[in-house]
Structures are given as structure tokens and as C-alpha cells.
Amino acid sequence: MENRERRHLQKYTLIITEKPDAAKRIAFALDSSGKAEKKTKNGVPYYSAKRQSEDIIVVPALGHLYTVTGAKKERSEYPVFDFKWVPRHLAERGATRIRTWLKVISELAENADVFIDGCDYDVEGSIIGYCILKYACAGKEKTAKRMKYSTLTLEELKESYTQTLPSLDFALIEAGLTRHEVDWLYGINLSRALTNAAKNHSGYYATLSTGRVQGPTLKFLETRERSIRCFVPTQYWNIKAQVSASGAVFDVEYEKNPVETRAEAEAVVNSCRGKEGAVETIATEVFLQKPPFPFDLGSLQSEAYRLFRFTPMQTLNIAQRLYLDALISYPRTSSQKLPPTIGYETILKKLGRNMEYQRYAAELLAKPALKPNEGKMDDPAHPAVYPTGNTPERSLNRVEKKILDLIVRRFMAVFGDAATVQSVKVAISIGGNRFLLDGKQTLEEGWLRFYKPYVRDEDKPLPPLVEGQKLEVKKVAAEENWTQPPARYNPGSLLRKMEKEGIGTKATRAGIIQTLYDRKYIRGERIEVTDLGLEVVEVMKKYCPSVISSELTRKLEERMDAIQQGNETRENTLRDTIEILKPVALKLKENEKVIGASLSQAIKKSKLEERTVGACPNCQNGKLVILRSKKTGKRFAGCTNYFEGTCKTAFPLPQRGSVKPSGKTCRGCGWPTVRVWLRGHGFWNLCINRECPLKKEGKRSTELRNLQQTKQ
């Protein structure tokens, strides 16, 4: 009995981590035998480790366990400026598990005498650890130590523990708390104003939101959308010629392209007709193409979108899993620098164990010195994203393998030599008109071979040419074209726009873009703003333009950076935020009826758009939408002109699974298609045309296959 009580009262070190996976890795890294014991209490996992004579308990959080909420429980009133930090289960529906989690942490804290914040070393991780230590551990944030690490490798976790920082980074925490509170003030007041206006007008609830970063981001998209919709194309001509040299035929461009009038284009073509070409000048330049910079989070997300079409949020989630598996460094970084302390040689030796990278790693290790090509951006918390060289402990899925391979090859490429590239510019005269020909060829691959297959192949070799050489002109023609509207943003280019404008953070930008999709403000990979999204921006522009200004958002970001530097206070920033929002909320409330009417109409139209399959192939001016029969409850696609009594077109749809418009037409018949998802079968596009030739081909193939099997 006495021994049991002694063990119960024995003091230990309590480490708080951000996620269960991190808790496991830290516990096993710190245990002297490498065999930490996993325990559970009321379903909450934690780990017990023994380090020499020291007892250690490692308990994880589940991300943020505390959040900002209103001081009063009224959920629909605004403006609201009084707030408090509370456990998430008191502010969010469906977060009841948090109550048990915090209770277990509090009980584990009772017998601890040393407290360490072992959460990820960034703003969010610092806030998570601070709140748990302050509220669940009864004010231990004042005496707690801080672990700082960029990877979850065994070596770095041990070093982080032996060299813990003596205290939490309170300046960073203060800036992070302020950001959360400012964002809550913006989000709760503006979102409630929009949601209440629509609900009070229509009687139906629909979640509408905007915020400090969300508003300006949607404004970028709205501006581009309106310029696309208002775009008036103009005609122009491009003049091209085909010439032959050394048995090769190649295209050359008229130097004054584009030509604005048909008369000028025809005059140039006529003056070239029947004429021989001659090489006027050849300008050759050899230049060095430096290796790329190491990945920061934004460039990783942009590159993953370019190569794999992964959204920024997808890439962040995949990178986070790879980090928790100790395969890459912490991904939420804005750094483009790789300090020597990460151990270049050690990582390359580990990578060399993989046959796929063996040759490249050996080549880099043979260099007299390893020096990465670094960018200007730095992050005091973490270096650029890099691979640890560890072998995966589990089987990675397809998308995880792609992102890991991309990070590995980028890491090796930054140590490569500059590529040597030759560019050639040739001027060719045809009938007194100058045409231009560009060529490009890689002479020395340098870093390019390390980054394959992710390098764009831009080589365009030219046949041997000399000045004065005569060329046979095969063809000269003027191509009629029309100017195109501005390109739509995609998730990658929108992320770069947010970075350029300085709004949001490396950790939040992907989530903001995803929220715009979730709110039905935008749709499609080539982002199109819905009528609902346009209407939300219109309301903001009319009644509170300042809150969708990227300048205002950028200034607030600068103030929060100043808080971290000790040059600004949390109190001043919050007071000024409230002063900005007070007149905004008042104006929105005064115009609630007008705003509600316009938003309700937009919501109604948006819901119809979500169900619209495409144009009706019979009446042409109606739209096919996904409907359900009131009598049978069955799903079908019907024409909107049915309600006008002018068209009765309808097509059956699958009754199982999820059916949504695909936005595409059938390659066989040109009719609209729907996207069907069925558990166990995945996604496929289905043409609604029962007489589609592709369906008939498929049916004949099935019949033939069945006949062959019968004969066998």
C-alpha cells in the first residue's frame, strides 16, 4: 500500500504536445530504452517514459483545445465586442470529446513538478501549449520550459529536450492571441450580419461568412470575375511563315505581331509571297541558370498544384502527415534557407540508401563542398522544408509518395551546379519584312538532372544556320485571332496573390481558400465566383468597403508583427479594431432588410446553380437541373422550362450514391454529364443521353465479351 502511494506521489516531467503522433515520437525518443509505455485514461492516450532517473509523461492535445467566444451565450446578436477564451466544447457543437481530454490533462498535471511545452514551434503551437498550461494546468505557463524542433527525428527530439528554452515565447504568444481575437471580432460581427439579414428575410438559415482575410481574398476574385464577364474581345492578326533549312521545316514569327488591322496583315503577306528568305542576324548567348530555392510552404503548395493539381489545403495536409512520420521537416515555414546545422551530408547519405536517389546523392556527396542556393525569405522558427532521409515506417499512399519525392528532389537540386543554357535569336528577312526565330538548348544540365521529372523541358534546338544563308519559304499566312479575357485564378495563383499582397499567414492561406469553396462563393479549378460570392462582395463594397481592403488587412498584419517585436500592444490593436468595426456593424444593421433581400435571392440562385447539369438539349433555352419526384422520391434531371409549361424533357439518374453536375460535356455526343460517386466504386462521369454512341459501344463490348466467355 505504501509503495503504491509512493509511486502515485512521485513527481515527473509533463510534456504537452500538439498531436498524438508527436507525443508518441517524443516519448519513444526520450525513453532510455526506446520503449515508452502507452497508456490511456478515459480514452485519452498518453505515454510514460523513463530517462535515466527521470520520469516523463507525454500527453497530446488535439490541436486547439481552447477558442475565442462571446462573453454572452447569445448566438445571433451583433455587434459583439466582449469575448473570452474557453474550452472548445463550451463554444462549438460536436466538440464534447474536448471536455474529457482537458480533464485527463488536468489530472496528469497534478503530480507533475516540471512542465514543458512540446507543441510545434510556431504561433499556433505556442498558443495551444500556452492555453493548456494556463487553464488546464493551473497557471503553469509562467514556469514552463519550451522544446524547439523542426523535425520529429530521434536525434533532434533528444537534443531539443536537453536544450529546452527556459520559458515560453510570450511575445510570439501575445501576437498569436491578438490575431485570433482580431479575426474573431471581424468574423463574428460581419458573418452574423450577413447570416441574420438573409435568415430574417427568407426565414431559412444559410451559413454566410466573411472576415479580415476572407473578404479581401474574395474581392481579388470578384474583381477578376467582373473583368472577365465585362470583357469585349478585339480582333487581331498574327503573321507566321514556314521556312526550310538543312532539311528541317520550322515556324517563324513576324516581328511586329500582333497586327491590329486586316489590311496591314494582308499587305505583309502579299509582300512576302513568292520571295526567298535570308538569315539577317544570329545572336547567341550562353547563360547560367541557377538552382531553385528550397521550398517554403507557399512555393511547395504552388509547385504541387502546378505538377499534380493538388489544392493548397491538400498539399498542407499531406506535408503535415509526412512531418508527423518524421520524413520531412516542419512544413509551415516561410524560410528559403537551409542552415548547415541540419546536416547536409547525413541527410544525403540516408537518401542514398534509396536506389532511386543513390546515384544523385553520391554525386552530391562527391562535391568538395555542399552549399545550397538560398532565397531571401527567412523564418526565425524553422528552416525551409527538407527531407530527413528517414525510411518510411508505413506504406505511403500515392499522393504522399508524390509530395515526398518532390521535396527530396528539390532538396538535392538546390545543391546542384548552375545549368548552362544557350539561347539563339535569329532574324530572317522575307520580302523586306523581318521574322524572328528563337531557339534554346541546355548545354550542361547541372541541377536540372536532380529535379527531373519536375523540370519543364524548354529546349528548342535549331538547325545549323549562318548569316546570309538563303532559306526556302514554304508558306506565309495571317492567322485571325481575338483577344482573350484575363485568366482566371486557380488555387495556386490565388495563393501567390495572397502572399504578394501580404494577407493571411503561411498557415492560414490554404484554409481561407478552402472556406471560400465551402461557402459556395467560388467553384471550379479555374476559379469562378458564384452569384452568391459576387453579392457578398457587393454588399461589402456598398456598406463597408474598408473591411475588404487588402491595405487594411496588411496593416493589421504589420501591427501583429510589431506586437511580436515588442513595438505594439495587444490592447491598442484590439481597441482600434473595435473602433473600425463599430460603425461597420451599425451600417449593416441599418440596411439589414435590403441586404437580406439581395443575399436571399443570390442564395436561391446559387442553390439552383449547384444542381444545374447543363443546357437542355431539346428546347435549348432551358437548363437541366437535378430534381426529386414528389410522388416517387426518385432522382432525375429535368428542364427548368417544365415549370413554364413549355418543355417536358427529363432523364433518369442513378438512385444510389452522390450525383452532382460535372460541368463537362460528353466526348461522344456533346450532351451534359453528371459526376457520380458510389462507396466502393469511386467517381465516374455519366452521360445523361440514353442514346449516346459511347454507351452503345460499351454495351456491344460487354455483349461480345459475354458471348466469348460462353463459347469458352
Q: Does 398 reside within a domain?
A: yes
- How does DSSP assign 559-572, residue by residue? HHHHHHHTSS-HHH
- How does DSSP assign 521-566, residue by residue? SEETTTTEE-HHHHHHHHHHHHH-GGGG-HHHHHHHHHHHHHHHHT
- How does DSSP assign 12-69, residue by residue? EEEEEESSHHHHHHHHHHHSTTS-PEEEEETTEEEEEEEETTEEEEEEE--S--EEEE
Bridge-based pairing state of the strands 112-117 and 12-17: parallel
**Cβ-based burial of 87 (10 A; exposed 0-12, middle 13-18, buried ≥19):** buried
**Cβ-based burial of 203 (10 A; exposed 0-12, middle 13-18, buried ≥19):** exposed
Cβ 669 vs Cβ 689: under 8 Å:
yes
The count of other CB atoms within 10 Å of the CB of residue 371 is 12
Do 409 and 423 lie in one domain? The reply is: no
Q: Does 712 reside within a domain?
A: no
Dist. CA 205–CA 565, nearest whole Å: 43
453's torsion region: left (phi>0), alpha (psi -120 to 50) or beta? alpha
What are residue 58's DSSP bridge partners? 15, 47
Residue 253: helix, strand or coil by DSSP?
strand
Do 628 and 507 lie in one domain? The reply is: no
* pLDDT at position 7: 43
* pLDDT at position 10: 76
Do 659 and 511 lie in one domain? The reply is: no
* pLDDT at position 607: 82
Cβ neighbours of residue 559 closer than 8 Å, sequence gap 6 or more = 568, 573
Bridge-based pairing state of the strands 54-60 and 12-17: parallel
Cβ neighbours of residue 59 closer than 8 Å, sequence gap 6 or more = 14, 15, 16, 17, 23, 44, 46, 47, 104, 105, 108
Q: Give the three cell numbers for residue 71.
A: 462573453
Q: How many domains does the structure of the chain reveal? A: 5
Do 154 and 202 lie in one domain? The reply is: no
* pLDDT at position 18: 95
* pLDDT at position 456: 85
Dist. CA 611–CA 623, nearest whole Å: 10
Please indicate whether residue 330 is annotated as part of the active site.
yes
- How does DSSP assign 638-653, residue by residue? EEGGGGGTS---EEE-
Do 366 and 468 lie in one domain? The reply is: no
Q: Which of 603, 627, 646 is the last residue of a domain?
A: 603
Do 65 and 152 lie in one domain? The reply is: yes
Q: Give the three cell numbers for residue 17.
A: 504536445
Q: Does 599 reside within a domain?
A: yes
* pLDDT at position 704: 42
Q: Which domain holds residue 138?
A: 2-168
Dist. CA 599–CA 533, nearest whole Å: 10
Give the CATH number of the domain where residue 66 resides. Answer: 3.40.50.140
Could you report the average pLDDT of every consecutive run of 10 residues in the chain (712 residues)? 46 95 96 93 95 93 95 83 95 92 96 95 94 96 96 95 95 94 94 92 88 94 95 95 88 94 95 93 95 96 95 95 96 95 96 96 96 93 95 95 98 97 96 94 95 90 90 94 94 93 89 93 91 93 90 88 92 94 92 92 85 85 87 88 84 86 83 83 81 70 43 38
Nearest residue to 687 via CA among 630, 603, 627, 624: 624
**Cβ-based burial of 71 (10 A; exposed 0-12, middle 13-18, buried ≥19):** exposed
Distance in Å from the first CA to the final CA of the chain: 78
Do 317 and 375 lie in one domain? The reply is: yes
Cβ 466 vs Cβ 279: under 8 Å:
yes
Dist. CA 415–CA 302, nearest whole Å: 21
Dist. CA 350–CA 354, nearest whole Å: 8
Please name the helix (run of DSSP H) or strand (run of DSSP E) that holds residue 268, with its range, or none.
Answer: helix 262-272
Q: Give the three cell numbers for residue 213.
A: 482575410
Q: Does 219 reside within a domain?
A: yes
Cβ 79 vs Cβ 189: under 8 Å:
yes
Do 436 and 529 lie in one domain? The reply is: no
* pLDDT at position 583: 93
What are residue 472's DSSP bridge partners? 244
248's torsion region: left (phi>0), alpha (psi -120 to 50) or beta? beta
Do 279 and 399 lie in one domain? The reply is: no
Dist. CA 234–CA 259, nearest whole Å: 12
**Cβ-based burial of 601 (10 A; exposed 0-12, middle 13-18, buried ≥19):** middle
Dist. CA 533–CA 221, nearest whole Å: 9
What distance lies between CA 702 and its chain's CA centroid?
42
Do 11 and 156 lie in one domain? The reply is: yes
Cβ 556 vs Cβ 183: under 8 Å:
no
Cβ neighbours of residue 391 closer than 8 Å, sequence gap 6 or more = 350, 353, 354
Q: Does 711 reside within a domain?
A: no
Annotated catalytic residue within 121, 330, 386, 521: 330
Do 560 and 701 lie in one domain? The reply is: no
Measure Cα distances from 547 to 82, 86, 187, 529, 552 in Å: 20, 27, 11, 19, 7
Do 584 and 509 lie in one domain? The reply is: yes
* pLDDT at position 547: 87
Cβ neighbours of residue 39 closer than 8 Å, sequence gap 6 or more = 45, 46, 47, 48
Q: Give the three cell numbers for residue 234.
A: 478585339
Cβ 409 vs Cβ 451: under 8 Å:
yes
The count of other CB atoms within 10 Å of the CB of residue 286 is 11
The alpha carbons of the chain give a radius of gyration, in whole angstroms, of 31
Q: Does 446 reside within a domain?
A: yes
Output b/e per residue, 189-200; b: 16+ Cβ within 10 A: bbbbbbbbbbbe
Please give the single-letter amino acid code of residue 442: T
The count of other CB atoms within 10 Å of the CB of residue 233 is 10
Q: Positive or negative, the Cα torsion across 295, 298, 301, 303? A: negative
* pLDDT at position 697: 65
- How does DSSP assign 626-682, residue by residue? EEE-TTT--EEEEEGGGGGTS---EEE--SSSEEEEEEEE-TTT--EEEEEEETTTE
Q: Positive or negative, the Cα torsion across 168, 171, 174, 178? A: negative
Q: Which of 556, 581, 603 is the last residue of a domain?
A: 603
Q: Give the three cell numbers for residue 33.
A: 530504452
Cβ 634 vs Cβ 236: under 8 Å:
no
* pLDDT at position 698: 60
Q: Give the three cell numbers for residue 68.
A: 475565442
Q: Which residue is listed with cell 442553390?
A: 607
Q: Does 117 reside within a domain?
A: yes
Cβ neighbours of residue 250 closer than 8 Å, sequence gap 6 or more = 242, 243, 437, 462, 463
Q: Which of 570, 603, 636 is the last residue of a domain?
A: 603
Q: Which residue is listed with cell 535569336?
A: 425
